[in-house]
Amino acid sequence: MVIYMINERISGSQFSIIVFLASTNFIFSITNSALNDNIYDSIISTLLAFALGMVLSVPLLLIYKNKIRPDMSSLPAKILSALYILYFAFSVVQDLYSFVSMAQNTVFPDLNTIVFSLGVFVICLYGAFKGIEVLGRAASVVLIIFIVGCLIIMCSSLQLYSPINREVFFYNGFDDFNKNMITIFSKSSFLPQSLVLLMYVNKDAKKLSAKYLSWTIGGAVVCMVFFYICVLTLGNFLSFQQYPVYTISALSSINPLQRLDIIFNVVWVCCICIRISASLFAVLQCLQAFVNVKVARIITVGLSALIVIVVEILSGNTGMIIMPTLISVSFVSIIILGAVIPLSMLCINKIKASKGGKN
Amino acid sequence: MKKFKIILVLILVLGIIFSFSGCTVEVYQRLIIKAVGVDVDEQGLVLTIRTVNLEDEKETNLTVRGDSTYQALSSLSLQSGKKQMYSHNGSIVFGSNVSDLVMKDTLDFFIRYFKSHSRIKLFRAENTAEEIITAKTDDEIIPADKISYMCTSQENIGWVMNVEIIDFINTSFGEGQIGFMPVLKYSDDRLHIKGNAIFYNYQYQNILDNDQTMTYLAAVSKLKESELTLDTEQYGKVSCQLYNDSGKTEIDVDKKEVDININLNASIASITLGKSVELSDFKEIEKLLIDKIKSNLDELIQKSYGEGCDIFFLYKNVYLKNTDKWRELEPNWNSLIKDLKFNYNIKCHINRLGEENRPSN
C-alpha cells in the first residue's frame, strides 16, 4: 500500500517563488502597444509598480504575522469570497487572453486557440486540484527553468547591442510613464491571490517578509533588465514588434540554435501555468465558503470552461479593443482586494483585540 | 470515475494531436525560399526568387509579378503548387531602380510576417536584383547561402558592412534616417562587393568604396581587421594590416565642430621588395597611413554630410548629452549638419614589422 503524505502547506520561500513567477510572467506577453511604444520609460515604471506592490503587500504580511483567519461561514466572508472569485476569474481571463493572443499573433499562428487554451487549463486545473504543496514544488522547478532560460536569452541577446540604441528617460514627458506604471502594476500584481495563498503558508515560516520582499525586488530587477536589453538591442526596430521579449529571443542565437524562441516558449508556458494554477487554487479555496470540496472542484472546472469560451470570443480584434480599457478596472480591483480589504481586516481585528483586552 | 478521467484525458490528448496535425503543412508541400530579389520594370514589381528543392538540394530561380511584395510572393504557389516557407530566406537584394516605397513595402512584409527569418541580410544590386539572384559561376547557380555570407567579411576585411534587416530599420527610423547596404556586382562570372550604399529615408544617396567603408567602420569602432595599401615614392607599395583600437565621434553643437578620433594599430604586411627601410622610417609610414585615413575621411564626409546624411549618428550624441539642445535643433538637423566642421584626431601605431624590416638585396 502506498501512503501519500500530502502536506497542505508551503514554506515562505515557496510562496515567494510562486508570487515571483506570477508577477514576472507578464514580461513575456506584454505588448509594445500596451506600453505606448515606450519601453525605456517603462523601466522606471516597473520599478515604481513593484515598489507600489511591496507597499501594498504590508497589510497582507501583517495578516499573516498576526495569524488572522477569517471565519468563512460568516456572511461578510461569503460576500468577500464571491467578490474574490469574480476577480480571480477576471484575472485568469486577462492572463489567458494575453497568452492566447500572443500565441495566435506571433508564436503559433496556425494553432487552434481553443485547443491551446483547453490544454493550458487541463494542466492548470490539475495543478490547482493537487493542492498548494504541489504548486509550491512545481514553482521551485519552474524557477530553475526561468532563471536558466532568462539568463540564456539575456546573455545571447547582447550580441545585438548597438550604442545608437541608447535613450534618455522621459524625453516625451511623464504621460507614458504614469500610464505604463498602472499597466505594469495591473499585469504583474498578485496581491489578491496572495491573500488566499498566505493562509496556506507554514505558520512558523521564518523571515517571510524578508523572503517575499527579496523575491519581489528580484522580479522587478528581471523585468527592468529585460526592458533595458530590449531597448539597447532592438532600438527603433521595437516600434515594429508587438512582443519585445519574444523578438529578442527570436533574434538571438547560440550555436547551433539559430533562434532562441523555443527557450522563450518553454519559460513562458511554465510561468503562465504557475500563475493560472495559483489563481484557480485561490478560486477553489474561496468556493469552499459556499460548498464542499467536490462541488467546488466541479464549479471550478465549469468556471474554467466559461473562461476559455470568453477568451475565445475575445481573441482577435475584440480583445485588443476591450483589454486596454480593463487595465484601470484591474488596477482598482487589485488596490481594493489586495490592499484595502486586507487593511480593513487588520483594523477590525485590532479593534476586536483591543475590545477583548478591555473586557 | 477513474475510467471517466482516463477517457477525458485521452479525448483531450487526441484532440490536441489532431489539432496540431491539421495545422501543419508537410515539408514536401513547402516551397523553401532562400533569397529574394526585388526589381521594378515598366510593368511594375518583379521578384526573382531563389528556391531550394529539399530532395536533391538543388536551387532554382522563379520570377513573379504583383502589385505588392506579398501579392507577388503569394502568386508563387501558382507556379509550384506549394506553400511558401520564408523561414530560410537569408537575403533580400534590391535592384538599383527600386523606389523607397517598394523597399518599405518589401521590408514591412518581412518584419511583420511571423515566420520570416529573423536575421535577413540586405543588399543593393549594382544593376538589377535579378542579375544577382540568377548569377552563375562556371555555369552553376551561385548558392543563396553564399550570397548572404558575402557581407560577413566585415570582420575579416572591413570593406563591407554586414547589414541585417534590424540594423537597416534601426538606423533608417532614427532621426538621421540613414541606412546602409552593401552593393553587389556581377562581373567576370563572379559576384563581388562593389561598395556600400548610403540611404537617406530609404532613398539611395551615394556609394562608399572599400577604403571609405574601412575608414567609416574605424570611426564608429566597428572595424576589426582591414588592409590599406600606400603607394609611396620612398618605399614603393606598402601594404599594412590594420586593427581598430578605438573610434569615436563627438560633436560640439555650439561651435558646430565634430571631432573624429580614430586609434589604429597596424602591422606591415609587405613592402616593395628591394626597397631599403630603416626602423626610423616606420614613423614616416605611420604618418603616410594617417594622411591616407584623413583623405578617406575627407571623401567620406563629402559623400555623406555634404549631402545631409548624418552617417555618424551625431544626432544621438546631442540627444544623449544635451537633450534640451536637441529639442531645439531637431527640426533643422539635416540642414545644420551640412555646415559642420570636422577635426581629425588620427593615431596610427605600427606595432609589428613582420619577419624582416629590411629585405636583403
The pLDDT, as a whole number, for residue B18 is 64
A323 versus B90: which is more confidently predicted?
B90
Q: By CA distance, what is A236's nearest residue in B?
A: B170
User: In this structure, what C-alpha cell is assigned to residue A21?
Assistant: 513567477
Across the interface, whether the CB atoms of B316 and A166 are under 8 A apart is answered yes
Chain A: nearest CA to B110, how far in angstroms?
11
Across the interface, whether the CB atoms of B15 and A115 are under 8 A apart is answered yes
Chain B CB within 8 Å of residue A311 CB: no
Measure CB to CB from residue A236 to each of B112, B169, B320 and give the nearest one: B169
Q: What is the pLDDT of residues A87-145, one digit of tens each?
A: 999 999 999 998 888 888 888 777 788 888 888 899 999 999 999 999 999 999 999 99
Looking at residue B107, what DSSP letter applies?
H
Task: Name the A residues in 213-232 with CB < 8 Å from any B CB.
Answer: none
Class of residue B147 by CB neighbours under 10 A (exposed 0-12, middle 13-18, buried 19+): buried
The pLDDT, as a whole number, for residue A5 is 42
Q: How far is residue B270's CA from residue B247's CA, in Å, rounded to a whole number?
A: 26
Q: How far is residue A315's CA from residue A98's CA, in Å, rounded to a whole number?
A: 9
User: In this structure, what C-alpha cell is assigned to residue B155?
Assistant: 570582420
Q: How far is residue B284's CA from residue B289's CA, in Å, rounded to a whole number?
A: 9
Judging contacts by C-beta atoms under 8 Å, the chain A residues touching residue B313 are 164
CB A111 within 8 A of CB A104: yes
The pLDDT, as a whole number, for residue B175 is 83
The pLDDT, as a whole number, for residue B303 is 92
The pLDDT, as a whole number, for residue B64 is 93
Q: How far is residue B44's CA from residue B67's CA, in Å, rounded to a whole number?
A: 7
Q: How far is residue A274's CA from residue A110's CA, in Å, rounded to a whole number?
A: 25
For the cut 90, the answer to whether the pLDDT of residue A339 exceeds it is yes
Task: Name the A residues in 139-198 with CB < 8 Å from any B CB.
Answer: 160, 162-166, 168, 171
The pLDDT, as a whole number, for residue A359 is 52
User: In this structure, what C-alpha cell is assigned to residue B303?
Assistant: 559623400
Angle, alpha carbons B301-B310-A35 (nearest 5°) = 160
Neighbours of B278 (CB within 10 A): 9
The pLDDT, as a whole number, for residue A3 is 38
* Three-state SS sequence of A151-170: HHHHHHHHHHCCHHHCCCCC
Across the interface, whether the CB atoms of B16 and A119 are under 8 A apart is answered yes
E-assigned strands of chain B?
Answer: 30-41, 44-52, 59-66, 83-85, 91-94, 121-125, 136-137, 140-141, 178-187, 190-200, 203-208, 225-232, 236-252, 257-271, 341-352
Got the DSSP string for B21-48? HHH---GGGEEEEEEEEEEEETTEEEEE
CA–CA distance from A85 to each of A188, A193, A333, B239 (Å)? 18, 10, 12, 77
Measure CB to CB from residue A118 to each of B12, B114, B118 and give the nearest one: B12
Q: What is the pLDDT of residues A9-67, one digit of tens each?
A: 899 899 999 999 999 999 998 988 889 889 999 999 999 999 999 999 999 999 988 88
Residue B158: left (phi > 0), alpha (psi -120 to 50), or beta? left
Across the interface, whether the CB atoms of B170 and A112 are under 8 A apart is answered no
Best residue of A101, A105, A115 to probe chain B, by most B CBs closer than 10 Å? A115
Measure CB to CB from residue A162 to each of B12, B23, B170 and give the nearest one: B170
Return all residues near A144 (Cβ < 8 A) that are at least 6 apart: none
Judging contacts by C-beta atoms under 8 Å, the chain B residues touching residue A107 are 114
Q: How far is residue A39's CA from residue A46's CA, in Å, rounded to a whole number?
A: 10
Measure CB to CB from residue B19 to each of A107, A115, A160 and give the nearest one: A115
Measure CB to CB from residue B23 to each of A107, A110, A235 and give the nearest one: A110
The pLDDT, as a whole number, for residue A90 is 94
Band of pLDDT at residue A357, cut at 50, 70 and 90: low
Element (H, E) at B293: helix B281-304
Across the interface, whether the CB atoms of B119 and A251 are under 8 A apart is answered yes
Return all residues near B169 (Cβ < 8 A) that are at least 6 apart: A236, A237, A240, B107, B111
The pLDDT, as a whole number, for residue B17 is 63
Q: What is the separation of C-alpha A126 from the centre of its chain, rounded to a whole number of angstroms?
A: 18
Q: By CA distance, what is A121's nearest residue in B?
A: B12
Query: Which stretches of chain B drop beneath a pLDDT of 70?
Result: 1, 12, 16-25, 275-276, 352-361
CA–CA distance from B231 to each of B158, B237, B263 (Å)? 20, 5, 22
Q: What is the pLDDT of residues A220-251, one digit of tens each?
A: 999 999 999 999 999 988 888 889 999 999 88
Q: What is the separation of C-alpha A77 from the centre of its chain, rounded to a whole number of angstroms?
A: 24
